[in-house]
Structure 1
Amino acid sequence: MSEPVPSITSAPEPLAVDQARRTRSYFIQMSIRVVCIIGAVAVDGWLRWALVAAAVVLPYSAVLIANAGRDHAEHDTSPVTPKAAPALTELPDAPGSPASPDVPNGPGSGRVIDHVDD
């Protein structure tokens, strides 16, 4: 069996586009981190600690998001139901079978059944 040809809508995005998207996402998150660090120096009170916490957590989340990569494939996890095998039918007694003793048993003699190869 040949595999189906993927349509243009199911083709993955090019590697260069994927890398540019991940680089841009990482750059934006690190820019937000710089703003948080500058903001933590400039403000006082609970907001300072919120900005420090954001500056500490952002590198971890940025790396996780940037390394998420291209593996967004969806796999079919539905159970496979095997097709029923076609029924084999026996033909009437062939020459050389025990039911017709007038023809001797030899190579190629015996019962013949219908068989279809897949």
Structure 2
Amino acid sequence: MRHSDDREHVVQSVTSAPTSGSDDQGHRVKRYLLTMGIRVLCGALALFTDGWVRWTFVALAVILPYVAVVMANAVGPRFGDDVAPVDHVPPAALPEARAEDEDRTIHGRIIDG
């Protein structure tokens, strides 16, 4: 049955939607915690090493908090790509339902796979 006000509607693709704010925040928190975990590891390793290796670990332990905060504050884009229409069959191109198709029974055989 068709309505008189049926028009060709543009169907939008869900895959072109941007990442949600909560998902983006979750990724940033995980990245922050990973970076700070590496910082703690560098601090611990600086206690058990000597020479230039110790100073490398100390430098990383000092620099990594800045890097972690900058990465945690880097918010992803709030707008996705341009929303693209999905190919679809407009209602006018659909065949009319016949009276014998009203029961919508599918006939066939079951084949073991």
Instruction: Give the structure 1 partner of residue 44 of structure 2.
Output: 38
- TM (normalized to structure 1)? 0.54
| Residue 29 (structure 2) aligned to one of 23, 39, 53 | 23
1:7, CA displacement in angstroms?
2.5
After TM superposition, which residue ranges in structure 1, 4 or more long, deviate above 4 angstroms?
72-75
Larger Cα-atom Rg: 1
1:36, CA displacement in angstroms?
0.3
Query: How far does the alpha carbon of each residue in 1:24-80 deviate from its partner, in whole angstroms, 9 at most, with x for none?
Result: 0000000000000000011111100000111111111111111111237589xxxxx
Cα distance between partner residues in 1 of 2:13 and 2:20? 15
Instruction: Give the structure 1 partner of residue 73 of structure 2.
Output: 67
Q: How many residue pairs end up in the alignment?
A: 73
- TM (normalized to structure 2)? 0.56
Mapping 1:78-117, distance limit 5 Å? none
How well do the aligned residues superpose, as a CA RMSD in angstroms? 2.3
Q: Give the share of equivalent positions with the same residue, in percent.
A: 46
Unpaired runs of 5+ residues, structure 1, are: 76-118
1:15, CA displacement in angstroms?
1.4
Between Structure 1 and Structure 2, the one with more helix by share is 2
Are 2:10 and 1:9 equivalent residues in the alignment?
Answer: no
- Answer 1 or 2: higher relative contact order, Cα 8 Å, separation at least 6: 2
Cα distance between partner residues in 1 of 2:51 and 2:29? 34
